[in-house]
Structure 1
Amino acid sequence: MLRLNHVSIAYQNKTVVRDVSFELKSGQIGCLLGPSGCGKTSLLRAIAGFENISKGEVIIRGQIVSDEQIFVAPQKRKVAVVFQDYALFPHFTVAQNIAFGLHSWTKKRQQERITELLSLVGLSGFEHRYPHELSGGQQQRVALVRAMASGPELLLLDEPFSSLDSELREGLARELRAILKYANATAVMVTHDQSEAFAMADVIGVVNNGQLLQWSNAYALYHRPVDRFVANFIGDGVFMQAQVDENMMLRSHLGNFSIDPSYGFNAGDSVEFLVRPDDIVHDDNADNCARVMNRAFQGAHILYELELQNTQHERVLCLAPSHHDHKVGENIGIRLDLEHLIVFSA
């Protein structure tokens, strides 16, 4: 449905997006994830046709819509955008907002489509309300169905949850995903929040400094990050120091591990390996102990920051069930359950 081939975007001769390539199949939900100012919104605007590209190709349904010579106008791309502020018309009712892009339809068809879409998002009976009479989540759903009303082939969502309370976002992201999947819609979302990306997307692209670092599913981003930025940006974790010995074993304060030759390290190399909170298991019967330095209660779990014994104050994170309630300063038993060894040069 969507393919970007080596796309670059420049403003006043300054390149803000460099050599980005990815593709999205029909019915998939993709997400561009990254910190503010990384170029993800520029990519979304280029797909929509709101920005020109300086190099590469944007292809929708097999048709080039942007390259260095071709530029198809936004209204001819069969693409709809849900903006960050929803952009609902305040003086229009819900029904009038949804019908705005359906001028060529008969009144009967418009009404049928409005009824169908409001039922899809659980807002039946809200036709005559105005945007100010709706909650933030309800406004978001109206903005979504207004974008879906004319049957676009690609939906683009620009930070769709940014104006909502943080405790609502993940639940609404799951809800929105279910709606899009039911409608078999193809969509690209932009966000800086990984929880929203995980809840919404089939495939996620991590963007930083104008480059697409990794385009994959959430599991691969978390357990098999391709570089240190992705490893740091996705999930929690710490990097531990280690040395590669003559037997190609990784020697560290957490233990010794065999290292895959494909990493290309040599004996004597100094490296760092990633340890996630779920790699450290709280076990009262374990031989190794660590001191609780900080703790964050998270309901079902407590995230502990632990200082290892017999080290130069090296620390790890441990996600333990919250009935294991330990105070700062206590020593607790830990053991390692490291299934995915992620190693980078120090």
Structure 2
Amino acid sequence: MSLPRKNRDDPRTSVGVSFAARLAFEHIDHAYDDKAVLDDVSLVAEAGEVLCLLGPSGSGKSTLLRIAAGIEPQQAGRVLLNDREIAGPSVFLPPEKRSIGLVFQDFALFPHLTLLDNTRFGLTELSRKDGIAEAKNALSRVGLGDKMDAYPHELSGGQQQRVALARALAPRPAVLLMDEPFSGLDSRLKDAVRAETLAILRQSRTTAIIVTHDAEEAMRIADRIALLKDGRVVQVGTAQQLYHQPVDLFTARFFSEVNIFRGTVEDGAVETTLGRIAAPGFAPGARVKVAIRLVGIGVSSEHGEIEARVVRRRFLGVTEVLELAISGAEQTVRATIREGHLEAGVKNVRLSVRLSDVLVFASPSD
């Protein structure tokens, strides 16, 4: 199988197939200076899938990657590769024995080595001849077969990222770990490099775990997403599951901008600035928070149940964000609309709420 070609001169070759493995974390605990970084983390990356570790800085994502790679041992729990323990109370395989590749955030390329020698660096168990052949193969897979004698400083950020990927894939690892691999790229390059990387991972059939703090990026590339907060797994699922069925307000806010209203449940509903919202499953008197996505508020100069006034408009290209004041309410409301949907200069509008973009949570969930 070969990557789709834009033209006959595309230098990419087919990607060598790895023996994808299932990587499992069981009840992982870890701390630095008595401060817990990972707290009873259990998580599985299935063979051949792309799993994203998502969360804010300090949530434990990179630490979990380091533990999987064998860079540091966990303080409790086990790591298993295809149900074989590779790190636990009585076993600790060194990194070079794990068949796990790692791509660092800064790519970690050696500036004094050519791309060929950078890529060949980890192929220590092969003869020089076989190592060179495998390194050339890996560089060709990522479209850099014509730059083997170049040095890292001669490349763009996107090309350096591809060299790091080639080096990690050259030994045909069962699992590939990537720590925020696209964070150093400018916005124009990100989409293209992400797409190229995902195509290479799919063709190599490598199990991949990718760390990111960007929810949109995770949704673009992951088969499943594991959301972490304060060293614990909050929710695991597909992008659709985490977006449409968030378990708490933290998850909802991570995947979309929301307006938040506080209230008390009475007769199965709660009063908000945007009207009465159903709150099924909550007891009378329960304190709740209602989250309404910005995209779920319809804005029109003619249609809608709620009168409002435009306070501010922010142009974002294909969309605009409006700040809206509602008569009798102290709290303003934000809404996202398609650019051009509302004529310039319009102040008085009417609002409607799409129920599929309304989420209700118990107050302690924040």
Q: TM (normalized to structure 1)?
A: 0.91
For 2:15, the equivalent position in structure 1 comes to none
For 1:313, the equivalent position in structure 2 comes to 331
Structure 1: distance between partners of 2:23 and 2:167: 22
Structure 2: distance between partners of 1:82 and 1:188: 10
Structure 1 residue 98 corresponds to structure 2 residue 115: no
- Asked whether the equivalents of residues 293 and 358 of structure 2 are also in contact (C-alpha less than 8 Å), the reply is no
Structure 1: distance between partners of 2:294 and 2:358: 14
Structure 1: distance between partners of 2:327 and 2:203: 52
Structure 1: distance between partners of 2:195 and 2:345: 35
Structure 1 residue 290 corresponds to structure 2 residue 291: no
Structure 2: distance between partners of 1:334 and 1:218: 28
For 2:6, the equivalent position in structure 1 comes to none
Structure 1: segments with no counterpart, 5+ residues: none
Structure 2: distance between partners of 1:111 and 1:70: 33
Structure 1 residue 255 corresponds to structure 2 residue 292: no
For 1:324, the equivalent position in structure 2 comes to 341
Deviations along 1:231-254, whole A, 9 cap, x unmatched? 2222211212343222x2333332
Task: Give the secondary-structure state (helix, strand or coil) at the position aligned to 2:111.
Answer: coil
Deviations along 1:273-294, whole A, 9 cap, x unmatched? 1111221122333132322233
Counterpart residue identity of residue 310, structure 1: G
For 1:271, the equivalent position in structure 2 comes to 288
- Asked whether the equivalents of residues 115 and 149 of structure 2 are also in contact (C-alpha less than 8 Å), the reply is yes
For 1:281, the equivalent position in structure 2 comes to 298
Correspondence for 2:160 among 136, 139, 146: 139
Counterpart residue identity of residue 178, structure 1: A
- Asked whether the equivalents of residues 28 and 186 of structure 1 are also in contact (C-alpha less than 8 Å), the reply is yes
- 1:260, CA displacement in angstroms? 2.9
Instruction: Identify if the C-alpha distance between structure 1 residues 97 and 67 changes in structure 2 by more than 3 Å, giving closer, same or farther.
Output: same
For 2:58, the equivalent position in structure 1 comes to 37
- Asked whether the equivalents of residues 170 and 195 of structure 1 are also in contact (C-alpha less than 8 Å), the reply is no
Structure 1: distance between partners of 2:56 and 2:275: 34
Task: Give the secondary-structure state (helix, strand or coil) at the position aligned to 2:168.
Answer: helix
Structure 2: distance between partners of 1:186 and 1:42: 18
Deviations along 1:260-282, whole A, 9 cap, x unmatched? 32xxx212323211111221122
Provide the aligned length of Structure 1 versus Structure 2.
Answer: 341
Structure 1: distance between partners of 2:328 and 2:194: 44
Structure 2: distance between partners of 1:245 and 1:2: 47
For 1:202, the equivalent position in structure 2 comes to 223
Task: Give the secondary-structure state (helix, strand or coil) at the position aligned to 2:117.
Answer: helix
For 1:234, the equivalent position in structure 2 comes to 255
- 1:21, CA displacement in angstroms? 0.9
- Asked whether the equivalents of residues 296 and 358 of structure 2 are also in contact (C-alpha less than 8 Å), the reply is no
Task: Give the secondary-structure state (helix, strand or coil) at the position aligned to 1:319.
Answer: strand
Structure 1: distance between partners of 2:345 and 2:233: 40
For 1:299, the equivalent position in structure 2 comes to 317
Task: Give the secondary-structure state (helix, strand or coil) at the position aligned to 1:199.
Answer: helix
- 1:19, CA displacement in angstroms? 0.6
Instruction: Identify if the C-alpha distance between structure 1 residues 328 and 169 changes in structure 2 by more than 3 Å, giving closer, same or farther.
Output: farther
Structure 2: distance between partners of 1:281 and 1:90: 53
Structure 2: distance between partners of 1:33 and 1:253: 32
**Root-mean-square deviation (Å):** 2.1
Counterpart residue identity of residue 343, structure 1: V
Deviations along 1:98-117, whole A, 9 cap, x unmatched? 12222443556445534443
- 1:68, CA displacement in angstroms? 2.5
Structure 2: distance between partners of 1:187 and 1:69: 26
Structure 1 residue 217 corresponds to structure 2 residue 235: no
Counterpart residue identity of residue 339, structure 1: S
Instruction: Identify if the C-alpha distance between structure 1 residues 182 and 308 changes in structure 2 by more than 3 Å, giving closer, same or farther.
Output: farther
Structure 1 residue 46 corresponds to structure 2 residue 67: yes
- 1:149, CA displacement in angstroms? 0.3
Task: Give the secondary-structure state (helix, strand or coil) at the position aligned to 2:91.
Answer: coil
Q: TM (normalized to structure 2)?
A: 0.86
Structure 1 residue 188 corresponds to structure 2 residue 206: no
Counterpart residue identity of residue 331, structure 1: N
Task: Give the secondary-structure state (helix, strand or coil) at the position aligned to 1:10.
Answer: strand
Structure 2: distance between partners of 1:178 and 1:117: 14
